[in-house]
Structure 1
């Protein structure tokens, strides 16, 4: 972790989760993403489940799996940092780091079932992103009651880095 990290901006949003997923994406998402994925959404879902991170990463796309089937009022906090922020994973149920390139300065949050995405303008750049979630109760039940919430922390990066599972919620053990 870098010392002296400063919070640049913070936004509290309400996003939609559906089919147990929230897509977080930028214009860098492509149908052929250079990784050989003709469908980056299914590839990100496969990455999320096969890796056991329950957060799938593809260029310009993060597929955040939620314990609940749906929650159209999901709290999401978006933070932009000058460098990697301090470690507070003890306050969260699940946490994953990945990369997200935002070439045009816009990211969107959309439910996998469609609907209108929530869009947010941020400084364009290549970011490391920390996805944190809490309030998880039970796979298939959390979320619909509005119990779960998420935080996305972004900070500049100078090179691509593999996704890292920082903390795993034990409730994912029953996921099939």
Structure 2
């Protein structure tokens, strides 16, 4: 298992998870459904909508199989897939300089992904302070559609 922790600047209330060769997430992908899912996705990239427009903690776990899931521990949970043709996963704030962003070296191919959000209700109305946290779990698997397993409603 690979575990990495990041403190990302969630400029525009989002951070990116993408293949190194990806063109990223186009703003047009932020549809009404994507806003409700708190995640906009392409084939080889996705953007996670955060509760704050500041630095947020992000944990990335890469495993051989899907980790056990306890929905009661999380406010919002989304599953999807991502293609990693380069085998290099970039995790960055959306305004970071991507050539210098951290990378995780993984096997090339399709991955299942689960994005988990916690403490979303801890964010103050100014959108600056809070104890929100984000986890991205990845494991090898086939492409599949986005599915919201638990929805946080404000």
Per-residue CA deviations over 1:72-119 (Å, capped at 9, x if unaligned) read 2x111110111111112211111101111122222223333x133542
> Rg bigger for which structure?
1
The equivalent residue for 2:4 is 11
Between 1:10-19 and 1:40-49, the stretch displaced more is: 40-49
What SS is found at the alignment partner of 1:145?
A: coil
Structure 1 counterpart of 2:136: 152
Structure 1 length normalisation: TM-score?
0.75
Consecutive unaligned residues of structure 2, counting only runs of 5 or more, are none
Q: For 1:126-169, what per-residue CA distance to the aligned partner results, in whole angstroms no more than 9, with x for missing partners?
A: 10000001111277737621411100000000x32111101111
Aligned residues: 150
Q: Distance between the aligned counterparts of 2:137 and 2:8, measured in 1?
A: 16
One of 118, 121, 125 as aligned partner of 1:137: 121
Give every structure 1 segment of 4 or more consecutive aligned residues whose post-TM-superposition deviation is greater than 3 Å. 138-143
Aligned-residue offset at 1:30:
3.6
Query: 116, 121, 124: which is aligned to 2:97?
Result: 116
TM-score calculated relative to the size of structure 2: 0.85
The one of 20, 27, 32 equivalent to 1:27 is: 20
